[in-house]
Amino acid sequence: MWDYTEKVKDHFLNPRNVGEIARPDLDATVGNITCGDALRLMVKLDGAKRIAEAKFQTFGCASAIASSDALIEIIKGKTLDEAARITNDDIAAYLGGLPEAKMHCSVMGMEALQKAIAQYRKEPFALETEGKIVCRCFGVTDTLIEKVVREQNLHSVEEVTHFTKAGGGCHGCHPEIEAILARVHGTAAAPPSEPKPRPAAMTNLQRINLIQQVLESEIRPMLQQDGGDVELVDVEGKLVHVAFRGHCAWCPVSDVTLKGAVEAKLRELVDPEIAVQDVGEKLA
Amino acid sequence: MTNVIYLDNNATTAVAPEVRQAMMPFLTELYGNPSSIHTFGGQVGAHVEEARAKLARLLGAHPSEILFTSCGTESDNAAIRSALASQPERHHLVTTRVEHPAVKNLCTYLAQPGPGKPKYRLTELGVDAQGRLDVGAFEAALDDDTAIASVMWANNETGTIFPIEKLGALCRARGILFHTDAVQAVGKVPINVAELPIDLLSLSGHKLHAPKGIGALYIRRGTRFSPLVIGGHQENSRRGGTEAVPLIVALGEAADLARKNMGEENTRVRALRDRIEKGLMATCPDARLNGDPAARLPNTSNISFEYVEGESILLMLDQFGICASSGSACTTGSLEPSHVLRAMGVPYTAAHGSIRFSFSVYNTDAEVDKVLEVLPPIIRRLREISPFGRQKAVQSER
């Protein structure tokens, strides 16, 4: 089902950094067993406050385990400031890429690291404390969604789901996710599709002109293709008199054409109250 | 891939050698269209009818009651849509929360309001912790507006078997059509529609050691049927499209094989399933069985291992060539774990770590031995990696 790179498979089957640290300087857990993904990250710093040792415990799929292991390989030896700049892209890149639907595993790695650093520095962990929960199925905040949308330049709800899991459960939060996307990209939500705007009160002359235009550009070419034709005879208010010509004149179902093609088109493009009558000499 | 231990037969089955052989003439010299007037084509028609008769025999049906389709999903769609189309005055559907998506998602779609769509009402009955249906609740759900009730014969994930005879009888008493998706049951348990109050029954070839791309729908004689696929006059104008001759012949042969193997399926294969289940429950702590051990298919075992996740279990099994499946969120294609396990109230903690083994007559004792050898260490390994269940001691190897 998933096309995993050799690196993902390697870090899944042979992770280098599973375990615990006796008295860690940093210790944070993100996710939970209900979600299907959880990562506990433990870090020991050296005298110079660099990451000397790091271990992980993960409940999750191959991507989750591989992402956790990759994260630790990346942060070993870094200062906390350097580590704080690690993104989920770095994790995915280290692994040679992750399937799109598994990108949220790399985001979880980044989240655990940031939470651990925030806790160590006794700062609030923005992604959890700020913002409100948008996706109740997976406990995802609008803060996290917005961060990932910006950093990853996401444009669809589906992409947001792939990177954060938000919207992947009951789908009830899709409108809110769409609102976040619109806010980030500065686009207003698309207005509901409206029928073509009809001209407001038209004068008779305007109406007759428009009817002629529609007959010439839309209706006659259509009939001519089948060897038929129609001619405008008169317009009385919203009643249009036409005469069929060519094949239409002797076609037994020309009244279908009258209503279904001629009248319908005029109602659509000129005025919904138009009625059409065939006043031509019936030859059929 | 060599040395595959294939324990995922509820997902699909190997094409039996006898079935492949029976198909070959129709992929080579006998390529005519059964509807043709010339002998070259027409002679093929006789083989189609022979396959129909073989399948009918497996089900206890009359050949005229067998409609060939492209798959189980098409059969399900045909049955339900026909019930609605042929009874336009009825707008109520009754089904369960543990149906296969071919029934479940179709019913959900039909019940959704939409422009130009008729408005249908859906009652989805829940199941208990063992996956069993409350027959009283089913009866209470039926009303004069019910067009059709659809309940699967056996669940694909847990193997739980439903009381089809009772449910069908309740429908029959009220003049309501009863459909059963028997895709997982056909070939595994004996079915005799002549003696059961069933109006429509779906089955699928690739669960029966026939190739993918063929299924069938049993339609009780006298049932009004409105076709799903409209085209030529094939299948007595009930399903347009030139008959899939090689696949139909394959299905007929597979049906004959299923009749021959039914005994073995319920004895030797059942014993393999029982042994793997017993073994795993004994060597792996914090493991639980999902489903009703009393009323289920002989070949299916669904076990949850707590604190670890299904996809990672499967990929480690994959290293040994062992093929199984899981109800975990990572494997369902959505982000939610199996809807069947959730409907059974299996806690998320267990649903994510569920593994399904499903056997066939081609499986052996040696294969069971291999799984019993490698799976417990896999579970141990994943529990070492997991942050959960730490306080529980891990049982030492037997």
pLDDT at site A228: 85
Q: Which of B71, B171, B323, B330 is catalytic?
A: B330
Q: How far apart are CA B189 and CA B181, in angstroms?
A: 14
> Does the CB of B392 have a partner CB in chain A at under 8 Å?
no
| pTM of the predicted model as reported, rounded to 2 decimal places | 0.81
Main-chain phi, psi angles of A60, to 5 degrees:
165, -175
Chain A residues closer than 8 Å to B310 by CB: 61
Half-sphere exposure of A216 (CA within 13 A, CB side): 6
A60 with B348: Cβ contact below 8 A = no
- Output b/e per residue, B284-318; b: 16+ Cβ within 10 A: bbbbeebbbeeebbbbbbbbbbbbbbbbbbbbbbe
Domains of chain B, CATH where assigned: 17-260 (3.40.640.10), 266-385 (3.90.1150.10)
Confidence of residue A76 (pLDDT cuts 50, 70, 90): very high
The Cα A129–Cα B54 span in angstroms is 66
Residue A252 is predicted with a pLDDT of 77
Structural domains in chain A, CATH included, are 1-123 (3.90.1010.10), 130-189 (1.10.10.1100), 204-278 (3.30.300.130)
Does A39 contact chain B (CB < 8 Å)? yes
Query: Chain A residue with minimal CA distance to B336?
Result: A169
Question: Does B307 sit within 8 Å of A33, measured CB to CB?
Answer: yes
- Identify the three-state secondary structure at position B355: strand
Question: Among B328, B337, B385, whose Cβ lies nearest the Cβ of A57?
Answer: B385
- Quick check: A40 and B387 CB within 8 A? yes
Digit-by-digit pLDDT tens for chain B (398 residues) are 568 999 999 999 999 999 999 999 999 999 999 999 999 988 999 999 999 999 999 999 999 999 999 999 999 999 999 999 999 999 999 999 999 999 999 999 999 988 888 989 999 999 999 999 999 999 999 999 999 999 999 999 999 999 999 999 999 999 999 999 999 999 999 999 999 999 999 999 999 999 999 999 999 999 999 999 999 999 999 999 999 999 999 999 999 999 999 999 999 999 999 999 999 999 999 999 999 999 999 999 999 999 999 999 999 999 999 999 998 887 777 778 899 999 998 888 889 999 999 999 999 999 999 999 999 999 999 999 999 987 654 444 33
CB contact A87 to B (< 8 Å) = no
pLDDT value of position A168: 85
The minimum CA-CA distance between A100 and chain B, rounded to whole Å, is 12
- Residue B398 has a pLDDT of 35
CA–CA min distance B196, chain A (Å): 38
Q: Which of A56, A58, A59, A105 to mutate to test the interface with B (most CBs of B within 10 A)?
A: A59
Shortest Cα distance, chain B CAs vs residue A1, angstroms: 8
Query: Cα separations (Å) of B160 from A13, A91, A186, B132, B292?
Result: 34, 42, 52, 7, 6
Phi then psi for residue B51, to 5 deg, are -65, -40
The dihedral over CA atoms of B56, B58, B61, B62, expressed in degrees to the nearest 10, equals: 30
Nearest to B349 among A1, A34, A57 (CB): A34
Q: Please provide the average confidence, as pLDDT, over all residues in chain A.
A: 87
* pLDDT at site B389: 82
Tokens 């299905």 -> residue: B251
The DSSP secondary-structure symbol of B219 reads E
Q: pLDDT band for position A272 (50/70/90)?
A: confident
Residue A257 to residue A245: CA distance in whole angstroms: 12
For residues B386 and B380, give the distance between their C-alpha atoms in angstroms, rounded to a whole number: 10
Whether A114 contacts A125, CB under 8 Å: yes
Q: Which helix (H) or strand (E) holds A216?
A: none
Shortest alpha-carbon distance between residue B392 and chain A (Å): 16
pLDDT, tens digit, for every residue of A185-203? 886 555 544 444 544 567 7
Q: Which residue of B has its CA nearest to A58?
A: B386
Q: Above pLDDT 70, what percent of chain A?
A: 93
* pLDDT of the residue at A196: 46
A/B interface, count of CB pairs below 8 Å: 71
Task: Work out the minimum CA distance from A147 to partner chain B, whole angstroms.
Answer: 21
C-alpha neighbours within 13 Å on the C-beta side of residue A51: 25
Q: Of B66, B70, B37, which Cα lies nearest the Cα of B243?
A: B70
CB contact under 8 A, B385 and A15: yes
> Which residue in the set A9, A18, A35 is minimally distant from B385, CB to CB?
A18
Q: What is the ipTM of this complex?
A: 0.89
A12-36 residue pLDDT tens = 999 999 999 999 999 999 988 777 8
Strands A37-45 and A51-59 come out as antiparallel
Radius of gyration of chain B measured on its C-alpha atoms: 22
What pLDDT does residue B318 have?
96
pLDDT at A284: 42
Instruction: Provide the token pair at B25.
Output: 């003439």
Question: Across the interface, which of B309, B328, B335 has its CB nearest the CB of A165?
Answer: B335
The phi and psi torsions of A28 (rounded to 5 degrees) equal -140, 145
Least CA distance to A17: which residue of chain B? B385
Residue of B nearest to A105 (CA): B330
B174's CB contacts (< 8 A; 6+ apart) are B142, B144, B146
A40 — contact with chain B (CB < 8 Å)?
A: yes
Q: In Å, how far is A52's CA from the nearest CA of chain B? A: 21
Q: Dihedral of the CA atoms B107, B108, B111, B113 (nearest 10)?
A: -140
Distance CA A262, CA A257 (A): 6
Contact A1, B316 (CB under 8 A): no
pLDDT reported for residue B349: 80
User: What whole-number distance in Å separates Cα of residue A158 and Cα of residue A160?
Assistant: 5
Signed CA dihedral, B175, B177, B182, B186: sign only? positive
pLDDT of residue B394: 45
A35 assigned to active site: yes
Choose among B330, B349, B387: nearest Cβ to A29: B387
In chain A, residues with a C-beta closer than 8 Å to the C-beta of B328 are 36, 61
Longest CA–CA separation in chain A, Å: 104
Q: Is A105 on the interface with B (CB under 8 A)?
A: no
What whole-number distance in Å separates Cα of residue B201 and Cα of residue B142? 19
Q: Which two tokens stand for residue A209?
A: 């002109």
Would you place residue A179 in the very low, low, confident or very high pLDDT band (cuts 50, 70, 90)? very high
Interface residue B311 vs chain A (CB under 8 A): yes
